[in-house]
């Protein structure tokens, strides 16, 4: 290889090393967040219509994880058996075309029918503000934001009433106390209490 090719290879290696480090950091914080929710008596909900990982293997469409999230409920049943309810949500928006960098988000999702699907793609469309994803939800608020489905969103995710969340840069989630405060703010938002989230913004 010539010098230019060698530099390209080295740059590529550094880029992928950074992504691996990012995913590793997210995994540690996510596991700790789950433990905080469980310690507060919440039932974790992950995948099967509750959070999950939004990613693609299509090289034409951001071939990596964009968002990862989980939900938590106080009920043992969860939304798949309840006609309506509210769940806390916690996750990471790792990439979209709008934000300056990875974000940690937390808040609530409300549903009004038992088969409502609060999965990773719904959360990505609700929280992300890029491209065609704007059409599925209308967003309001500053700091604490609320996304409500449009007719297109209601058609795609029937029963989802709203997603309300706040977000902080991932780099600021730098201590157990900070993470626990974010988890508690999400739990409070699920109870319609905005104060703890406002204190973090």
Of the candidates 119, 129, 69, 63, the one whose C-alpha atom is nearest the C-alpha of residue 96 is 129
Instruction: Give the pLDDT of residue 138.
Output: 93
Intervals of the chain under pLDDT 50: 79
Instruction: Give the pLDDT of residue 116.
Output: 87
Q: What angle do CA 22, 24, 26 make, to 5 degrees?
A: 70
Q: Residue 121 pairs with which residues in a beta bridge?
A: none
pTM above 0.95, yes or no: no
- What Cα–Cα distance (Å) separates residue 77 from each residue in 15, 48, 83, 191? 43, 14, 11, 18
Instruction: Give the pLDDT of residue 84.
Output: 78
Instruction: Give the pLDDT of residue 82.
Output: 63
User: How far apart are the C-alpha atoms of 90 and 8, rounded to whole Å?
Assistant: 37
Instruction: Give the pLDDT of residue 76.
Output: 58
Instruction: Give the pLDDT of residue 39.
Output: 93
């Amino acid at each position: 290889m010539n010098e230019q090719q060698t530099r390209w290879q080295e740059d590529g290696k550094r880029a992928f090393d950074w992504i691996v480090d990012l995913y590793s950091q997210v995994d540690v914080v996510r596991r700790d967040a789950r433990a905080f929710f469980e310690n507060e008596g919440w039932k974790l909900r992950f995948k099967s219509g509750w959070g999950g990982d939004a990613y693609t293997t299509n090289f034409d469409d951001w071939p990596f994880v964009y968002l990862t999230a989980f939900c938590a409920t106080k009920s043992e049943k969860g939304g798949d058996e309840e006609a309506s309810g509210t769940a806390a949500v916690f996750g990471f928006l790792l990439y979209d075309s709008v934000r300056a960098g990875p974000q940690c988000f937390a808040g609530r999702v409300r549903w009004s029918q038992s088969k409502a699907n609060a999965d990773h793609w719904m959360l990505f469309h609700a929280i992300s503000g890029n491209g065609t994803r704007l059409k599925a939800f209308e967003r309001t608020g500053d700091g604490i934001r609320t996304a409500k489905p449009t007719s297109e969103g209601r058609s795609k995710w029937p029963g989802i009433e709203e997603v309300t969340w706040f977000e902080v840069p991932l780099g600021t989630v730098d201590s157990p106390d900070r993470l626990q405060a974010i988890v508690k703010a999400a739990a409070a938002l699920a109870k319609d209490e905005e104060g703890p989230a406002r204190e973090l913004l």
